Structure 1
Amino acid sequence: MIDFHAHLDLYPDPQMIVREIAERGMYVLSVTTTPSAWKGTSALATPGSRIRTALGLHPQIAHERVGELPLFDLYLHETMYVGEIGLDGGPEFKPHWQTQLTVFDHILNACQLAGGRIMSIHSRRAAPTVIDRLVAFPRSGTPILHWFSGGKRDLQRAIALGCWFSVGPAMLVSEKARALVRNMPRDRVLTESDGPFAQIGGESAKPWDVGSATAKLAELWDDLTEDETDRLLHDNLRCLVTNTKAMKASVANMSGRGEDIKGGFE
């Protein structure tokens, strides 16, 4: 199973979650919400595990943590993954829109200057602007739009730009979301939980709940069985890992620091 967007450090007992991930042999991208959480969260990915950690600054708290951008720049060389980043156009966050843009642009520019990163991106009520900013920083890396909820035109633009998508069981409850997923390129889709924020049956989603997302995708892609859908998702991850290796080699050539960058899920 693959959970390409989970906040492992925000569960009440992260170590229990990590042990269960290991027992199930899962691949997990552990995203952070602030650069100051990077060291503690990356420590959850023990040597030999299939957990990788992304360096992030969440748009919903960008106005509170904009002062951590120097920390982001400091730690960026340690990972090929960046997230959770992006923009949030919800009414409660719109007063801080300009700060969100400043933070997002800074991060995209830093990723571009560093040779590119795999980026897990939040775009709630902000898909057109998120896509505009990705166009403005074309060498920032591979964008993976987490829980994408934009319109059809936004989806078409994102696909044309080469974006990937991560979808979870909580997202796939919505018919609008299911319609969007039907039109996403199957070879650019991964599963996610967005736990502990996402809720399933009134409880926080766990990384292993992505199994139900795989089942729901098989229903949407009705020419594939659940096992075939699972194999496709793992093929997608392998493709992304290949991209990560190529990106890491490019970074090493640019900076000579390739050896200390945590790379793909190999």
Structure 2
Amino acid sequence: MLIDTHCHLDFPDFAEELETYVARADAAGVGRMVTISTRVARFPAYAAIAERFASVWCSVGTHPHGAHEELDVTAEQLVALSAHPRCVAIGEAGLDYHYDKSPREAQAQGLRVHIAAARITQLPLVIHARQADDDMIAILREEMGKGAFPAILHCFTAGEALAMTGVELGLYVSFSGILTFKTSEELRRIARMVPRDRLLVETDAPYLAPVPFRGKRNEPAYVVETAKVLGDVLGLSFAEVAALTTANARRCYWKMDHAAPLAQVA
């Protein structure tokens, strides 16, 4: 089995044939998927998808692109919403200096609020970091000093310093289809440096489809291709890397194995 630790099943790309995409993932051996929140205001939609499919779970949080739109969201609200039995993570939140769609101060403020919620709940914080390595390292070190919290550096494309800081602080590092791109040799080098018990795989679907599907709409089933390449990078068979990343994902998203059965939730 594989777990797609990060996808966006609420996006319009999947709206008309969501059952088909979930079934295709199941057929490919992707036994669990986590559909990730980008707006707290949309949490009922994420929860509804997770309630609909036994293999789908969700998170609650605000993407840095919309941080300025949800500055009124408090850690207490995130904690309350995360009590939903199908919610297994906080986020995604973080810093994105590539697009700068939200003021950087708002992004940092939102990130710290999400960190506080992760610290309280001990649910993993899903971190988005793009071209903001130095500020992310500084915030993570400062906040970890206030009290430990679990977290994932999702869709990792940053530099070695952020990866190693994350490892030092106990974070997981998740690799997407970008790992399979011909131009991603530096990323593959970093993947080899990450301790094996901290490695995750994801799609970030509908974005970033791996080779050989690059340029097409991504979907959870395609996480298989990323896992194959990660196995090649580590010198592991597909079965070994699937077992490894699945065990890591279950440890990280610990609530999956402790929640009530879907039938009771529904």
Partner of 1:64: 69
* Paired residues of 1:18 and 1:44 also in contact (CA < 8 A): no
Listed as ranges, the gaps of 5+ residues in structure 2 are none
CA deviation digits over 1:20-64, x for unaligned, max 9? 345555211110100011111111113671211011200012123
Runs of 4+ in 1 over 6 A off after TM superposition: none
CA distance in 1, matches of 2:223, 2:174: 11
CA distance in 2, matches of 1:3, 1:48: 14
Amino acid at match of 1:187: D
Listed as ranges, the gaps of 5+ residues in structure 1 are 249-258
Worse-superposed segment, 192-201 or 3-12? 192-201
- Give the CA RMSD over aligned residues: 2.6
Partner of 2:82: 76
Deviation at 1:5, TM superposition (A): 0.5
CA distance in 1, matches of 2:163, 2:39: 28
CA deviation digits over 1:75-104, x for unaligned, max 9? 2333341121111121x3077101111111
The alignment partner of 1:8 has SS state of coil
**Matches for 1:1-266 after TM superposition, within 5 Å:** 1-14=2-15, 15-16=18-19, 17-24=21-28, 26-46=31-51, 49-69=54-74, 72=78, 74-78=80-84, 79-90=87-98, 92-93=99-100, 96-112=103-119, 114-138=120-144, 139=147, 141-173=149-181, 174-199=184-209, 200-222=213-235, 224-242=236-254, 244=255
Q: What TM-score do you get using the length of structure 1 for normalisation?
A: 0.82
Identity of aligned residues (%): 24
Worse-superposed segment, 30-39 or 194-203? 194-203
* Paired residues of 2:79 and 2:121 also in contact (CA < 8 A): no
CA distance in 2, matches of 1:118, 1:101: 18
CA distance in 2, matches of 1:220, 1:28: 23
Deviation at 1:11, TM superposition (A): 4.1
CA distance in 2, matches of 1:176, 1:96: 30
CA distance in 2, matches of 1:107, 1:235: 25
- Work out the number of aligned pairs and report it: 246
Q: What TM-score do you get using the length of structure 2 for normalisation?
A: 0.82
